[in-house]
Amino acid sequence: MIKLFRKVRQRLLTQNKFGKYLAYALGEIILVMIGILLALQVNNWNEQRTLQGKITSIYAIVKSDLELDIVMIDEVIATMSPEESVLKRIMDGDMTLEDYQNCDKCEFVVGGFPDITLKSRGLTLLEDNSTLFDIENDSLFIRVNEFYSYFITEIAVDMEEIEIDYSDNFAYWKTNKTWFPDNLFGIKNSEFVNYALNSPDYLNRVATWRRLYFVNYLGHLKDYKESASLLIEDLNKRNETE
C-alpha cells in the first residue's frame, strides 16, 4: 500500500500536476490520521472491556461473600433458637425445679455461643482497587461500602460487649460459686438450680446476656442478612445489564 502511494505521488509530480499532488497528499494524511484514531479507539475499547471485567470480577466475589455470610447467619440463628427459648422462660419466671433438672442447656444459656466471622475478601478487593471505580457516581460501589461500613462497626461493638459480659460472668462465678466446676462440665448441681430459681443476680445476668446477644447481636445479623439479600439482587441486576 505504501509503495502504491509513492508511485501515485511520483506520477503526479512528473506530470506537473502540483495541485492534484497537494490534494492527494492531504488525503493521504487524513487517511493516516483516521487509521491512528481508529487504532486508539480500539485500544480504548479493549482497555474499557478489561476494566469492566475486573470490576465485574470484584463484584462477583462480593456477592459470593454475602451469600456465604447469609448461610452462616442462618446456621447461627438455628443453633441459638433453643437457647433463646430457655432464656425467655427464665425471664418470664416459667422455669421450675424439674425444668432445671431436666434442662441440658441451662448451664450454658449465659455464655456459650457460636461466633461468626464475616467474609471480607470482596470488600478488601473493592478497597484495594477503588481507583477502578467511579466512586462518586457508581451507586452500587457506594452502597456496598456503606453496607460494610455500618455492619462491620455495629457487629464489632456487639461482639466486644458480649465478650466483656461473658468474661464478667465467668470471673464472678469462678470466684464466688461452689457449683461452678460442675457447671463447666454440664453436671447437674442443686446449688446452681437454687441460684437460678431464686437469685436476682442470675436473673439480671440472664437479662443482660439476652439483650446483648439475642437482641443486639442477632438483631444486627438478621438485618445484615436482609440488607445483603437486597444487595445481591442489585449485583445480579448489574450483571444482567452488561
Which long-range contacts does 63-68 make (Cβ < 8 Å, 24+ apart)?
63/122, 63/232, 63/235, 63/236, 64/119, 64/122, 65/118, 65/119, 65/120, 65/121, 65/122, 65/123, 66/119, 66/122, 66/228, 66/231, 66/232, 67/232, 68/119
Residue 79's identity, in one-letter code, is: T
- Give residue limits of the domains in the chain: 61-241
Q: What angle do CA 198, 158, 105 make, to 5 degrees?
A: 40
Residues 6+ apart with CB under 8 A from 76: 114, 116, 218, 221
Q: What's the CA gap between 121 and 127, in Å, rounded?
A: 10
Instruction: Tell me the whole-structure pTM to 2 decimals.
Output: 0.77
> pLDDT per position in the chain (242 positions), as tens?
444 445 545 554 455 554 554 554 566 667 667 656 665 665 566 556 666 778 889 999 999 999 999 999 999 999 888 888 888 899 898 999 988 888 877 777 777 777 788 999 999 998 888 888 877 778 889 899 999 999 999 999 999 999 999 999 999 999 999 999 988 887 888 999 999 999 999 999 999 999 999 999 999 999 999 999 999 999 998 877 66
